[in-house]
Chains A and B, each alone.
Chain A
């Protein structure tokens, strides 16, 4: 039961973090296809990279005493794993795929960064990674719906597309900030 409460709390944070930082906003297409493999690559990369980063940090970085350098080494690790997953699953006949080169616009890096900061045990790292991945899917649905609405509704042309997405994400992030606080209060945190 406690794992589900934690999942709910972390999901609130994760969703809020993704919305607030605008990370991965470029990854969400205007027309989303759930059946498309490209849609599932970022959450899959998050799900694999974050727990793996936790293991690398716990058993290699701390052993070698890397200190703050680990933050800056997280990006190469996230990018290489994302690139590997991209090449493995979405193999392009033209040559090696560059999907995931920027760790999906820093999204996978940020998730790994938060995971190694928050998780004390491997199971916690898994829960955080899972909640971030699920949150990404939810954020993608919201962003795609905003994209769609901006086409149908009478929105000024200069606001259509990304400006409207950014503004809507800002308003949504405020809502989810309150949800996170409410979840924390419900769980008994001050």
Chain B
């Protein structure tokens, strides 16, 4: 049961809330919903393309320099995404440049590409996209809480910058700015990690009971 729980990308030891890989990305990328959507796209793009390239060129690449190649590839793909995104929304691209630059760091810190040796291309791609999706959805879930309560508005990327939903003067007046600050992000993340631990404990017990039956 423990092995199953530990290997799970959502609850396991590599889950974003257990390993806390990319704390900075979680905090910066979840301050606005438009940032979270953009970062989710970047995560899927960088994780997917880097893993596919590394798997396709597996036999051609020297093993000793693999880490360096993974760093270069993920950074170049990240820039590629930034460039394409800047064609769609130049103003938003400027705002989100730093969180986007943290995506390859999160990818390398997670070390997913070092665990892909025994997997086929489709399996490796599936695993990497699933992990990217989990991290991206976590960002979006946090942003759905932080932005409306912090700014009194909800934004999505648009060619003019951002498109605002549900914004009003009253909502903006009653918003709590601390929530969208990085300090607020750390506070929320701290309590979320504690809640995650409690839920993970319950889930582990549930799995153990089911196996005993």
Contacts and interface: CB of A to CB of B under 8 A. Distances in A.
B87 interface: no
Interface in A25-83: 25-26, 68-69, 71-76, 79-80, 83
Interface stretch (B23-31, B49-57, B205-213): B23-31
Q: Is the interface of A mostly helix, strand, loop or mixed?
A: helix
Contact of A167 (B67, B186, B195): B186
B190 A166 contact: yes
Given A163-B191, A174-B183, A83 B67 contact: yes
A102 B105 CA distance: 6
A109 B189 CA distance: 22
Interface stretch (A15-23, A130-138, A182-190): A15-23
A167 B190 contact: yes
Interface residues of A, number: 42
Q: Is the interface of B mostly helix, strand, loop or mixed?
A: helix
B150 interface: no
B186 A71 contact: no
B13 interface: no
Given A68-B82, A71-B97, A163 B194 contact: yes
Given A73-B79, A80-B68, A101-B109, 19 more contacts: A25-B23, A68-B86, A71-B98, A72-B79, A74-B101, A75-B104, A76-B75, A96-B64, A101-B67, A101-B71, A102-B108, A105-B21, A106-B102, A158-B194, A158-B198, A162-B190, A163-B191, A166-B186, A167-B190
Interface of A: 20-23, 25-26, 68-69, 71-76, 79-80, 83, 96, 98, 101-103, 105-106, 109-110, 113, 156, 158-159, 162-167, 169-171, 173-174, 177
